[in-house]
Structure 1
């Protein structure tokens, strides 16, 4: 290894041994998962004073060490740093429904929260988070919301939302739109009768009819009406992308689809953040490809405008994007076979980080990332790309060895 890389590693090692382990942390932490205390403390300290803490992960959503670290970090940020909201990269509809149930004193169960979080995080690593979130919601001072405009399988959105939305309609109009919406939300299409532009037009027509009713004076003052308008706006943005993905080879259509989705997530965030008390602090849980501050110069992401770009524009240095990567190990997408992660090359960021130490994980602050300049790394997936990573994230946790999540059976 060259002298410059060795100097970088020397500085990193001195950082871990010389920085006080509990800088500016007044409370005693509660251990939830088994992680390296020194690194989790450093990450907590970096995020504690922010307004928006964005916790990323690989878009494969199949790395167990990352998930365990994030679960413990959420506990710490809520209990010790007074974060009062968690927004997750799942359909926003179920969370609006849960919030409505909670506001009227009805029970919110672990099963409801698990269903809202969705199958991407249906594993043993994330399960300890569910009862914690339920307990915090019951206090009335913690908010759990979703960012995405997509419909989750076996969710409230796919089963019960249609009935709730059409309650503003009457007679044949209600029956017709209920059938149209239920067919789509439950994806009741077949090879003989597939989803097509005519179906989309009918759905959009029903949503427009419902929005018209929501604008009537006797309805629009109701709290439920505002929430239903937000859900309809999110559904319409989702529908607007339908059929555009049929040919991603034309006119950068795939990039546009991705950008429209990230923009939609931002609009959902903005709408729901505006409802929080002044001074609120929000944790955002999503893939790093969404939370990145910029992807402009990353190979394969030309033209991409991620969710994190809008957050940084709104919050500046009050927002923090945390990425994750690994030197080696295993991973597994939802209920897919376990796969080996290629060992990181010596000259990669991950290889340099573990060249001369025995740590299980390392936290690289923004200043540390800046010292590496442009170097190959894989915080955005399984492929190594060279980039000034301090431009993409504010900090990076790198594990020596990842493990595949233990997916729950259904």
Structure 2
């Protein structure tokens, strides 16, 4: 860990990846301890995670009003995907730092986390800004969506998604009008409406798209749109204070990656969130990925377990633990990734990808054995 702290300490942004199933306990525990050290030793003063921004905006509103924020609120904002015991020390750290005013915390995503303020109460609060029949019409459809009361009689279609998007666009117009009051609450509600507009725009596009043809190149437009939306939220988060922040970003490695050109040999490759970060911050950003030689993982906090297939003989993971290596973890810095040349590795989703990994990551931590996380007691 000391080498990673040294590599990351003087950066403005550190992107901490994880494989896309979000079910690797040792990765999560390592990231939690690394965050503590970077905050305490290197002056990092903000944290943003690949979760819906809505509950985090509500937390900001409460703090601004002098209201308390507890660990349950922070855990809800982080989301059920990381509702595990390995994450608990980070929830405590974030809650303490928020109360002390020493760490800004936010969400990257425009998606709505289930079981949160965003799903339970946000729509009713936002619809209060509309008037007349539209408040009732939009409110009824949003209530159906947030509680997912769709069936064979009431299907969720592209038309319904478009209707909901229209509600958010109308709300944006109301909150952005010169006559609208400008308060911390209304500013937060406007950011919510803009994100929900982008989220439903993406849903409409996906649901309206014709089925992909067999053998055709994958359509990455949904991924690209989400990457851009997350980067817009990062920029808004960083712009909240006039002085530059040092920011820790928690997300999947496929989003953190500096480039994903290796994923598409025949068509146009996807554009990751990390690519936008690289374009703006360059060498001021540091991207860390994680992988494992062996072990198992889960699909987030679900009971579904998967065993890692044996490492390919000449993969980065196998080379990291080739004799005489006896360590439990091995860290490959960017120069080591570059010297290894194009090689198979599996930090994105535990599927083997062959590429020049220094174009994707600035560092890779490999565990000898990974394991699934332990569900939190909530």
Q: Is the aligned partner of 1:294 residue 2:259?
A: yes
**1:180 counterpart SS class:** helix
Give the match for residue 343 of structure 1: 310
Give the CA deviation at 1:164: 1.7
Q: How many angstroms apart in 1 are the aligned matches of 2:308 and 2:152?
A: 37
Mark the CA change 1:298 to 1:207 in structure 2 (over 3 Å): closer, same or farther.
Answer: closer
Given the superposition, is the C-alpha separation of residues 243 and 167 from structure 1 closer, same or farther in structure 2, using an over 3 Å criterion?
A: closer
Partner of 1:249: 212
User: How big is the shift at 1:201?
Assistant: 3.0
Give the direction of change, closer, same or farther, for the CA distance of 1:130–1:377 in structure 2 (3 Å limit): same
Scaled by the length of structure 2, what TM-score is found?
0.93
For the structure 1 residues 291 and 166, does the alpha-carbon distance in structure 2 shift closer, same or farther, using more than 3 Å as the test? same
Q: Distance in 2 between matches of 1:129 and 1:327?
A: 26
Deviates more, 1:298-307 or 1:78-87: 298-307
What pairs up with 1:51-90 in 2 under 5 angstroms?
Answer: 51-90=12-51
Task: Say if 1:64 and 1:405, in contact at 8 Å, map to a contact too.
Answer: yes
Q: Could you say what secondary structure the match of 1:188 adopts?
A: coil
Q: What's the offset of the Cα at 1:181?
A: 2.2
* 1:203 positional shift: 1.5
Q: For 1:231 and 1:128, how far apart are their aligned partners in 2?
A: 28
- Which residue pairs with 1:382 in the alignment? 350
Instruction: Select between 292-301 and 134-143 the one with higher mean Cα deviation.
Output: 292-301
Take 2:305 and 2:354, find their aligned partners in 1: how far apart are those partners? 27
Contact conserved, 1:326 with 1:401, CA < 8 A, in 2?
yes
Distance 1:248 1:49 in 2: 47
For residues 185 and 60 of structure 1, what CA distance do their matches in structure 2 show? 24
Trace 1:55-204 onto structure 2 (pairs within 5 A).
55-204=16-165
Could you say which residue in structure 1 is the equivalent of 2:276? 310
Distance in 1 between residues matched to 2:281 and 2:349, nearest whole Å: 26
Alpha-carbon separation, structure 2, partners of 1:293 and 1:266:
13
CA RMSD of aligned residues (A): 1.8
Residue from 239, 242, 246 that aligns with 1:281: 246
Q: Which residue of 2 aligns with 1:331?
A: 297
Deviations 1:347-380 (A, max 9, x none): 1111011011100001111011111011111111
Name the residue aligned to 2:320. Answer: 353
Q: Which residue of 2 aligns with 1:6?
A: none
Who is 2:226 aligned against? 261
1:336–1:244 distance in 2 versus 1, CA, 3 Å? farther
Relative to structure 1, is the Cα distance of residues 196 and 123 closer, same or farther in structure 2, using a 3 angstrom cutoff?
same
2:285 paired residue number: 319
Residue 162 of structure 2 contacts residue 204 of structure 2 at CA under 8 Å; is this kept in 1?
no
User: Which 5+ residue runs of structure 1 have no aligned equivalent?
Assistant: 1-39
Kept in 2, the 8 Å contact 1:346–1:355? The answer is no
- Aligned-pair CA distance for 1:97: 0.9
Secondary structure of 1:145 counterpart: strand
Deviations 1:319-371 (A, max 9, x none): 00100011111111131332211121221111011011100001111011111
Residue 10 (structure 2) aligns with: 49
Q: Residues 294 and 220 (structure 1 numbering): CA distance in 2 closer, same or farther, change over 3 Å? A: farther
Q: Report how far residue 104 of structure 1 moved.
A: 0.7
- 1:237 match: 198
Q: What is the number of residues matched between the two proteins?
A: 371
Question: SS in structure 2 opposite 1:398?
Answer: strand
1:398 aligns with 2:366: yes
1:216 equivalent to 2:187? Answer no
Instruction: Tell me the CA shift for residue 78 of structure 1.
Output: 1.1
Q: Which residue of 2 aligns with 1:371?
A: 339
Closer, same or farther in 2 for the Cα pair 1:320/1:248, shift >3 Å? farther
368-377 or 180-189, which moves further after superposition? Answer: 180-189
Contact 2:29 2:86 (8 Å CA) reproduced: yes
Report runs of 4+ in structure 1 exceeding 6 Å deviation: none
Mark the structure with the bigger radius of gyration. 1
